[in-house]
Amino acid sequence: MKGFAMLGIGKVGWVEKDRPVCGPLDAIVRPLAVSPCTSDIHTVWEGAIGERHNMILGHEAVGEVVEVGNLVKDFKAGDRVLIAAITPDWSTLEAQAGYSMHSGGMLSGWKFSNFKDGVFGEFFHVNDADGNLAHLPEGLDLESAVMLADMVPTGLHGVELADVQFGDTVCVIGIGPVGLMSVAGASIRGASEIFAVGSRPNCVELAKEFGATAIINYKNGDIVEQVMKLTNGKGVDRVIIAGGDGETTFAQAIKMLKPGGRIGNVNYLGSGDNVLIPRAEWGCGMGHKTIAGGLMPGGRLKMEKLASLVLSKRIQPSKLITHKFHGFEHIEEALLLMKDKPKDLIKPIVIIE
C-alpha cells in the first residue's frame, strides 16, 4: 500500500509498505477523509519527538473498517467509524487510573504517527478496536467527523484542564483550529468573558462566532498588558494555551492569571529544553496558580459524546475547514499547506471516499 511519510527530520515523501496486520482485538481501516495537523509539522520539521524513518504520518481520520480481529465484538468490515487521534490500551493500569492517554508510559496513547504508522496510508491499524472506534452516526458529515479525531477533543480538553466554571473570565492563547474549539468549549462551559489571542483574520472572525468577547492581537504589543486593561488590572480566572511557545507564552499565561487560577495547556511544545515560569508572578511559588498540561484522552465514549455535541449543533467544527481537497494524492499538498500556514488557512481536509 501507499502512504505519505516522514522520511527523516525535515523530510517527507510517498512510501510503499505492506498492509498492516490485524491482531485479535484490532481493526484495519481505510481512510474516507483525513486532515493534517500542526503536530505533524512539529514532528517532521522541528524533530519534536526525535528521529523517525519512513513513518506514515497523520492521526486525524474518519474511515471504513475493512477487517477486524476475531475478538472484536462491536465492529465489522464495512462499518464507517470515528477514530480519535489518541488510541489508548484500555486494559493498562494508567487507563484504569483515568489517564488513558498515558497508557503504557507517558504519551503512549498517542500511537499514530508517533510509535506506528499513521492514517495517511491506504490502510491503517487501530489497536483495541472496541475501545477506540465509534460508529459514525447517521447525519454526521465527514468534515465534522474528521475534526472529531483531534481538533474537537483537544480544544475541549484545554477547557477541561483549565476547569472553566460558570462566570469565569478566560483567555485562550492561540486561535488556530485547536484554540477555536477551546473558545467554543469555554462558551458552552459558561465563561462570562472569553479573550481570544491570535491574528489571522478568519480565525478572529470564527473566534467571535464561537463566543469570544474580545480579540487580542499578540502582534500589537504585550498580551498581558492587553488582558490587564480589559480586566481592570485583575487578570483572568483561567488561561487555555493553544499556541505560542514554552517561554514567552508560558510566562504571559502565569502573569495574566489571578491567584487561584488554572492554566490548561494543550500546546505541543516542539522545541527548547525548559518552560518558563516567572517566580514573582507565580507568587514566589505560593500563588495557587495551577498549571495543567495534557494530551486528550481518546476513546469510544468520548467520541460518541463529542459527536452528539455536533449533532445537536452545540459545536460546529466543520466551520474550521477552509481548504478541501479530493483524492488521496492530495495529502502531500494539504500537509505542506499546514506547514506554510497561509493567512486564509484554518484547517485543510482531504476527502478520499
- End-to-end CA separation in angstroms for the chain: 16
Q: Is 57 in the site for ligand NDP (CB under 6 A)?
A: no
Helix (H) or strand (E) holding 204: helix 201-210
Helix (H) or strand (E) holding 95: helix 93-96
Question: Using the rule CB under 6 A, which residue among 62, 81, 164, 203 binds ligand NDP?
Answer: 203
Concatenate the DSSP letters of all residues of 138-181 into one string: TT--HHHHHHTTTHHHHHHHHHHHHT--TT-EEEEE--SHHHHH
**Minimum separation from the CB atom of position 48 to ligand NDP (A):** 8
- Of the candidate spans 31-39, 124-132, 186-194, 319-327, the one that interacts with ligand NDP by CB under 6 A turns out to be 31-39
Q: What's the CA gap between 181 and 60, in Å, rounded? A: 15
Q: Is 103 in the site for ligand NDP (CB under 6 A)?
A: no
Concatenate the DSSP letters of all residues of 228-267 into one string: HHHTTT--EEEEEE-SS-TTHHHHHHHHHEEEEEEEEE--
Q: Is 296 in the site for ligand NDP (CB under 6 A)?
A: yes
Residue 299 touches which of ligand NDP, Zn ion, none (Cβ within 5-8 Å per kind)? none
Which of 36, 69 has the CB closer to Zn ion? Answer: 36
Which of 125, 157 has the CB closer to Zn ion? Answer: 157
Which of 65, 85 has the CB closer to ligand NDP? Answer: 85
| CB-CB neighbours of 52 under 10 Å | 19
Residue 157: phi and psi, rounded to 5, are -65, -35
Site for Zn ion, rule CB under 5 A: 37, 39, 150
Lookup: cell for 295:
494530551
Residue 131 touches which of Zn ion, ligand NDP, none (Cβ within 5-8 Å per kind)? none
**Minimum separation from the CB atom of position 221 to Zn ion (A):** 31
Lookup: cell for 324:
478541501
Q: Is 208 in the site for ligand NDP (CB under 6 A)?
A: no
Pairing of strands 80-83, 11-16: unpaired
Question: Using the rule CB under 6 A, which residue among 200, 289, 300, 319 binds ligand NDP?
Answer: 200
Q: Is 152 in the site for ligand NDP (CB under 6 A)?
A: no
Q: Is 123 in the site for ligand NDP (CB under 6 A)?
A: no
Q: Are 112 and 58 in contact (CB under 8 A)?
A: yes
Helix (H) or strand (E) holding 214: strand 214-216
**Minimum separation from the CB atom of position 79 to ligand NDP (A):** 25
DSSP state of 120: S
Residue count of the chain, please give it. Answer: 353
Q: Is 198 in the site for ligand NDP (CB under 6 A)?
A: yes
Q: Is 316 in the site for ligand NDP (CB under 6 A)?
A: no
Which of 15, 164 has the CB closer to ligand NDP? Answer: 164
**Minimum separation from the CB atom of position 157 to ligand NDP (A):** 7
Residue 242 touches which of Zn ion, ligand NDP, none (Cβ within 5-8 Å per kind)? ligand NDP
Residue 176 touches which of ligand NDP, Zn ion, none (Cβ within 5-8 Å per kind)? ligand NDP
β-strand partners of 4 = 14
| CB-CB neighbours of 317 under 10 Å | 25
Q: What's the CA gap between 98 and 121, in Å, rounded? A: 31
- Of the candidate spans 130-138, 197-205, 284-292, 309-317, the one that interacts with ligand NDP by CB under 6 A turns out to be 197-205
Question: Using the rule CB under 6 A, which residue among 120, 218, 282, 325 binds ligand NDP?
Answer: 218
Residue 58 touches which of ligand NDP, Zn ion, none (Cβ within 5-8 Å per kind)? none
**Minimum separation from the CB atom of position 300 to ligand NDP (A):** 17
**Minimum separation from the CB atom of position 70 to ligand NDP (A):** 32
Give me the sheet containing 236-241, strands edge to edge: 214-216, 193-197, 169-173, 236-241, 257-265, 290-293
* Contacts with ligand NDP, residue ranges (CB under 6 A): 37-39, 42, 150, 154, 173-179, 197-200, 203, 218, 242-244, 249, 266-268, 295-296
